[in-house]
């Protein structure tokens, strides 16, 4: 039986004498999880939790040592015992004990941890930089997968090497040289596979007599299996599985008789998960592909690069204990010192790094410390942000947990899954992968888009057969590509820690690798300095001109505050052009792909008009699905001839990429004179660092009166670096004060409420904008209350919380009214605070009217905007409390704004009360 609960008190470990001799035991007080939470008689009482004791025997006491009250604990195959009239539980010989099972540990993390816990920490902190052995290792793995899937060796090598052209180029490698290296390792694999076919009956059907080729399609092999364990809290991707047992490929050499211990541990992790998925695993195989023909026969007499080992119970349990140690340390927020393990520092490749990090952060470390610690305020900052980023990571883990905790319908309702697909077909592709097709049976929405990675499963993403797949096309039919054929009936969003990892590395790099001058600026110890620039860049807008002057003349940083419609994008483009003319190399970045492409578009227009550099010296780095269609010609293709790929990137004078991409291995090899970050108020501090780490000086452009960064957990990440620096270095900032969007009446409230009354129309034509300026539109045709540019429509509203059907109905009427007056439907936008209300309204109005949440409207504008407040009674709730959201909503229209809401509810909040007053004026 299965026991799960929360540790309810101190754990006691002791030794007792039993009939088998001396044994260790740990008694853990446990508050059991209520597994019948369905009990519908919601008798308003707090559920009564049952508290019991679980006895962990022998080696499991090691895990008990890490356990603290409040942690979650799971025991499999436990036995029930009666003790003084009370039901208690204890481990049996078949039990596993799992600490914090929802903390999902990567297999590679466990592999690093067993080598040295501090190695695990360092790897997490700074990531692995671009280096040839790693890229080559990855290539050999890819070719191995291809071989298993039946692809021709030479074809696979050529294709895989070509795919990595850019990385190889950055490493100074040639395609031929790399292909030769990969071939050496891959031939060992190929030979072994063929031998295996002859002797081990891996292929069940008889092949044509003259075919010596391995034919995996009919075999008991599977390549690349993604495994997620809800019981053990482990996830990872096995290189291959042969007759249910894990096969791990290593590119290194190992002439010893036994596999390396950490390699065994890795294979054991996969074995655990395979067993959970219903298998029974008694062996593991490691393939050391550098053990070439020349090495055979010598000491060991081995004929193959493969080493099999038996997967004993003891090893599997040891692996779970390792995982427990890691999870417990992460939950406590402790930092490993290296003393936890037995590795010898003098043999470690990371010894120097370890000592430097320990020295700079003043951390206890087995390897010792080198150098001076960074200042105390920086260490405090590091700890604060480390914690915040780790909280974000926990949120990603919760996303994983939802894969098994929520049922399919719940996931679909959360827009995190597409369910009830009808499987159509699987088709092998030339390169050995599979194309999978399924039909959608409902029009349900989800956040899954083309180009996304998803978990494709035949029913359940964790318990069923599932595989990581790429969405190639998504309409009535879903077309996917994957390494293995899955009869897809369901797709789930695949949670990834990638962004979290990159944030952590960016913060690490900023603090430990950043220049002293940069850190003086970031920590407010020095004021930014500026060179005098006498050129006039923009002659009809003084604030924009000052912004460009500051951006160009900044020695450290410049901060451009751009309220709605003030020509931020144009100003950025002008500044970059000026920098390019001065011969500088510029990084253009922003949080979203959309913002990057917008800024890039404006820059290209500038360059075209005043062509100082070739457009082919402008490069957009990003994935194919992320980059907008019209920017694809500038997108850097990663595949190709290494030298050519690297030249294209190195020669680029302007590189545009999202901040997340700036944290990639390829981008981290690049250096710039200036980094210019747009929409910087929507970025977390570490997110901003990912971009500015790559440059000598930086310019941040944004508006902290609009929406802040999106974060999963409530923490220090919610304030942007932009906002902090604007307050810390007011002299480095410029506010663009003239807006080119809203007429005078519309902008008045936002200007007064959010910009100290400093925002004003750029010119009389903007101030006096009305609907009459539009072709075929006459304001006289509108009812009187709508003739003013700002109108309020009072609707009593219904009592439901996140929707309001009355408002939706009124909005539908309003749209008809505007249409009757000659306004085109696609000139009208409707904004609502909640997604539920967005769909409510969408069902009432024609398709070509844009209806969306405030958050998604940020960055765009429309002739007419209708805002649905969706609130009756009071305005309680986080969505209304953040006034920046209302700022965004009110500053989208150019010519007409209609506010639809319940005036009694609005009047309960002072800001909204002033809003009413303004709208009704």
Partner DNA sequence: ACTCTGCACAGAGGA
Beta pairing, strands 51-57 & 86-90: parallel
Helices 132-148 and 175-200: crossing angle in degrees, nearest 10, is 40
Regarding 632 and contact with DNA (CB under 7 A), the answer is no
Binder to DNA among 6, 138, 465, 904 (CB under 7 A)? 138
Regarding 223 and contact with DNA (CB under 7 A), the answer is no
Q: How far is 402 from 7, CA to CA, in rounded Å?
A: 22
Regarding 497 and contact with DNA (CB under 7 A), the answer is yes
Burial status of residue 449 (CB atoms within 10 A of its CB: 0-12, 13-18, 19 or more): exposed
69 token code pair: 């009250």
Regarding 294 and contact with DNA (CB under 7 A), the answer is no
Which residues, 348 to 377, sit near DNA by CB under 7 A? Answer: 349-350
Regarding 496 and contact with DNA (CB under 7 A), the answer is yes
Burial status of residue 55 (CB atoms within 10 A of its CB: 0-12, 13-18, 19 or more): buried
Beta pairing, strands 105-106 & 234-242: parallel
Count residues binding DNA (CB under 7 A): 68
Binder to DNA among 59, 79, 260, 884 (CB under 7 A)? 260
Residue span binding DNA (CB under 7 A) among the ranges 292-300, 324-332, 449-457, 553-561: 449-457
Binder to DNA among 285, 569, 664, 747 (CB under 7 A)? 664
Farthest CA pair distance, the chain: 98
Binder to DNA among 879, 907, 911, 913 (CB under 7 A)? 879
Strands (DSSP E) contained in 188-338 are: 221-229, 234-242, 245-250, 283-288, 306-310
CA distance to 128, 135, 249, 418, 662, per residue, from 305 (Å): 27, 21, 10, 43, 39
Beta pairing, strands 738-739 & 760-761: parallel
Q: How far is 411 from 104, CA to CA, in rounded Å?
A: 19
Give first-to-last CA distance, the chain, whole Å. Answer: 70
Regarding 248 and contact with DNA (CB under 7 A), the answer is yes
Answer for the pair 651, 472: CB distance below 8 angstroms, yes or no: no
Regarding 113 and contact with DNA (CB under 7 A), the answer is no
Q: How far is 286 from 794, CA to CA, in rounded Å?
A: 72
Strands (DSSP E) contained in 410-549 are: 417-418, 422-428, 434-439, 453-457, 466-474, 477-482, 490-493
Answer for the pair 898, 786: CB distance below 8 angstroms, yes or no: yes
Q: How far is 423 from 439, CA to CA, in rounded Å?
A: 6
Regarding 834 and contact with DNA (CB under 7 A), the answer is yes
Q: How far is 129 from 760, CA to CA, in rounded Å?
A: 48
Regarding 116 and contact with DNA (CB under 7 A), the answer is no
Least separation, in Å, of the C-beta of 187 and DNA? 16
Least separation, in Å, of the C-beta of 271 and DNA? 13
Residue span binding DNA (CB under 7 A) among the ranges 27-35, 373-381, 555-563, 659-667: 659-667
Least separation, in Å, of the C-beta of 128 and DNA? 4
Regarding 446 and contact with DNA (CB under 7 A), the answer is no
Least separation, in Å, of the C-beta of 589 and DNA? 9
Regarding 494 and contact with DNA (CB under 7 A), the answer is yes
Residue span binding DNA (CB under 7 A) among the ranges 25-33, 245-253, 433-441, 510-518: 245-253
Regarding 440 and contact with DNA (CB under 7 A), the answer is no
Binder to DNA among 347, 376, 780, 784 (CB under 7 A)? 347
Which residues, 562 to 601, sit near DNA by CB under 7 A? Answer: 591-594
Answer for the pair 708, 718: CB distance below 8 angstroms, yes or no: yes
**Of the candidates 718, 688, 719, 686, the residue with the CA atom closest to the CA atom of residue 503:** 686
Strands (DSSP E) contained in 58-164 are: 72-75, 79-83, 86-90, 97-99, 105-106
Task: Tell me the three state secondary structure of residue 595.
Answer: helix
Regarding 445 and contact with DNA (CB under 7 A), the answer is no
Residue span binding DNA (CB under 7 A) among the ranges 60-68, 189-197, 629-637, 833-841: 833-841
Q: Which residues contact 84 (CB under 8 A, 6 or more apart)?
A: none
Which residues, 762 to 821, sit near DNA by CB under 7 A? Answer: 802
Binder to DNA among 51, 58, 102, 123 (CB under 7 A)? 123
Binder to DNA among 5, 117, 137, 169 (CB under 7 A)? 137
Based on CB atoms, which residue is closest to DNA, 56 or 646?
646
Binder to DNA among 95, 156, 324, 661 (CB under 7 A)? 661
Binder to DNA among 528, 622, 797, 901 (CB under 7 A)? 622
Residue span binding DNA (CB under 7 A) among the ranges 189-197, 309-317, 768-776, 872-880: 872-880
Regarding 432 and contact with DNA (CB under 7 A), the answer is no
Least separation, in Å, of the C-beta of 447 and DNA? 6
Least separation, in Å, of the C-beta of 41 and DNA? 24
Regarding 183 and contact with DNA (CB under 7 A), the answer is no
Regarding 710 and contact with DNA (CB under 7 A), the answer is yes
Residue span binding DNA (CB under 7 A) among the ranges 347-355, 374-382, 404-412, 417-425: 347-355
Based on CB atoms, which residue is closest to DNA, 100 or 840?
840
Q: Which residues contact 570 (CB under 8 A, 6 or more apart)?
A: 544, 602
207 token code pair: 């092949």
Regarding 165 and contact with DNA (CB under 7 A), the answer is no
Task: Tell me the three state secondary structure of residue 867.
Answer: strand
Q: Where do contacts with DNA occur on this chain (CB under 7 A)?
A: 106-109, 123, 128, 131, 133-134, 136-138, 140-141, 226, 235-237, 239, 248-253, 260, 266, 290, 347, 349-350, 447, 451-453, 468, 494, 496-499, 591-594, 622-623, 625-626, 657-658, 660-661, 664, 710, 712, 802, 833-836, 853, 855-856, 876-879
């Amino acid at each position: 039986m299965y026991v799960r609960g929360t540790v309810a008190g101190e754990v006691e470990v002791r030794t007792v004498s039993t009939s088998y001799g001396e044994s260790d035991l740990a008694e853990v007080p446990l508050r059991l999880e209520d597994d019948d939470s369905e009990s519908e008689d919601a008798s308003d009482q707090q559920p009564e939790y049952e508290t019991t004791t679980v006895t962990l025997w022998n080696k499991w006491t090691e895990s008990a040592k890490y356990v603290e009250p409040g942690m979650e604990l799971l025991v499999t195959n436990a036995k029930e015992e009666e003790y003084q009239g009370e039901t208690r539980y204890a481990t049996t010989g078949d039990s596993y004990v799992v600490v914090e099972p929802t903390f999902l540990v990567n297999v590679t993390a466990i592999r690093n941890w067993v080598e040295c816990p501090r190695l695990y920490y360092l790897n997490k902190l700074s990531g692995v930089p671009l280096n040839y052995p790693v890229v080559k290792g990855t290539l050999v793995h890819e070719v191995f997968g291809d071989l298993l899937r039946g692809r021709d060796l030479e074809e696979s090598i050529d294709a895989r090497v070509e795919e990595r052209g850019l990385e190889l180029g950055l490493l100074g490698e040639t395609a031929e040289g790399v292909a030769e290296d990969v071939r050496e390792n891959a031939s060992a694999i190929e030979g072994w596979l063929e031998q295996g076919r002859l002797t081990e009956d891996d292929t069940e059907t008889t092949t044509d007599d003259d075919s010596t080729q391995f034919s995996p399609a009919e075999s008991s092999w599977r390549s690349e299996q993604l495994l997620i364990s809800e019981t053990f809290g482990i996830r990872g991707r096995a290189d291959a599985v042969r007759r249910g047992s894990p096969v791990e490929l290593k590119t290194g050499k190992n002439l010893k008789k036994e596999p390396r211990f950490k390699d065994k541990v890795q294979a054991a992790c996969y074995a655990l998960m395979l067993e959970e998925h219903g298998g029974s695993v008694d062996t593991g195989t490691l393939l050391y592909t550098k053990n070439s023909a020349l090495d055979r026969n010598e000491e060991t007499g081995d004929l193959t690069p493969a080493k099999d080992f038996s997967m004993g119970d003891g090893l599997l349990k040891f692996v779970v204990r390792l995982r427990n140690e890691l999870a417990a340390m992460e939950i406590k927020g402790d930092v490993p010192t290296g003393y936890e393990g037995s590795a010898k520092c003098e043999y470690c490749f990371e010894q120097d790094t370890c000592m430097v990090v320990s020295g700079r952060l003043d951390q206890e470390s087995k390897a010792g410390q080198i150098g001076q610690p960074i200042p105390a305020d920086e260490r405090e900052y590091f700890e604060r942000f480390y914690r915040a980023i780790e909280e974000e990571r926990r949120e990603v883990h919760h996303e994983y947990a939802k894969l098994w905790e929520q049922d399919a319908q719940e996931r679909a309702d959360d827009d995190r899954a597409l369910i009830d697909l009808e499987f159509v077909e699987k088709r092998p592709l030339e390169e050995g992968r599979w194309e999978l097709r399924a039909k959608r049976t409902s029009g349900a929405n989800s956040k899954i888009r083309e180009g996304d990675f998803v978990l494709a499963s035949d029913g359940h993403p964790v318990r069923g057969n599932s595989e990581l797949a790429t969405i190639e096309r998504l309409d009535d039919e879903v077309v996917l590509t994957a390494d293995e054929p899955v009869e897809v009936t369901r797709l789930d969003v695949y949670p990834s820690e990638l962004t979290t990892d990159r944030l952590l590395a960016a913060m690490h790099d900023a603090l430990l690798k950043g220049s002293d001058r940069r850190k003086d600026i970031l920590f407010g110890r020095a004021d930014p300095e500026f060179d005098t620039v006498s050129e006039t860049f923009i002659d009809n807008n003084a604030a924009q001109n000052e912004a460009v002057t500051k951006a160009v003349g900044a020695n450290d940083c410049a901060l451009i505050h751009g309220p709605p419609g003030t020509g931020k994008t144009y100003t950025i483009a002008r500044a970059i052009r000026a920098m390019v003319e001065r011969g500088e190399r510029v990084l253009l970045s922003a949080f979203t792909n959309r913002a990057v492409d917008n800024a890039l578009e404006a820059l290209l227009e500038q360059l075209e008009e005043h062509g100082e550099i070739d457009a082919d010296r402008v490069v957009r780095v990003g994935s194919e699905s992320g980059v907008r269609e019209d920017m694809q010609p500038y997108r850097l293709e990663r595949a190709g001839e290494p030298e050519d790929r690297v030249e294209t990137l190195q020669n680029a004078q302007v590189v545009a990429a999202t901040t997340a991409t700036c944290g990639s291995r390829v981008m981290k090899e690049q250096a710039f004179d200036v980094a210019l970050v747009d929409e910087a108020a929507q970025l977390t501090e570490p997110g901003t660092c990912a971009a500015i780490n790559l440059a000598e000086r930086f310019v941040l452009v944004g508006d902290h009166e609009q929406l802040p960064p999106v974060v999963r957990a409530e923490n220090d990440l919610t304030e942007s670096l932009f906002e902090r620096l604007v307050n810390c270095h007011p002299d480095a900032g410029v506010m663009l004060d003239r807006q080119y969007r809203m007429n005078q009446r519309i902008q008045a409230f936002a200007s007064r409420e959010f910009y100290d009354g400093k925002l004003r129309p750029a010119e009389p034509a903007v101030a006096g904008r009305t609907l009459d300026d539009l072709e075929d539109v006459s304001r006289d045709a509108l009812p009187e209350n709508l003739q003013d540019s700002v109108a309020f429509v009072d609707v009593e509203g219904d009592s439901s919380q996140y929707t309001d059907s009355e408002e939706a109905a009124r909005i539908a009427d309003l749209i008809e009214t505007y249409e009757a007056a000659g306004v085109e439907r696609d000139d009208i936008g409707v904004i609502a605070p909640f997604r539920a209300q967005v769909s409510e309204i969408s069902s009432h109005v024609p398709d070509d009217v844009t209806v969306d949440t405030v958050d998604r409207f940020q960055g765009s504008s429309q002739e007419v905007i209708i805002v649905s407040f969706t609130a009756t009674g009071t305005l309680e709730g986080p969505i209304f409390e953040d006034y920046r959201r209302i700022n965004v909503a009110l500053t989208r229209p150019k010519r007409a704004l209609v506010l639809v809401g319940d005036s009694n509810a609005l009047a309960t909040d002072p800001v909204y009360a002033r809003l009413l007053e303004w709208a009704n004026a």
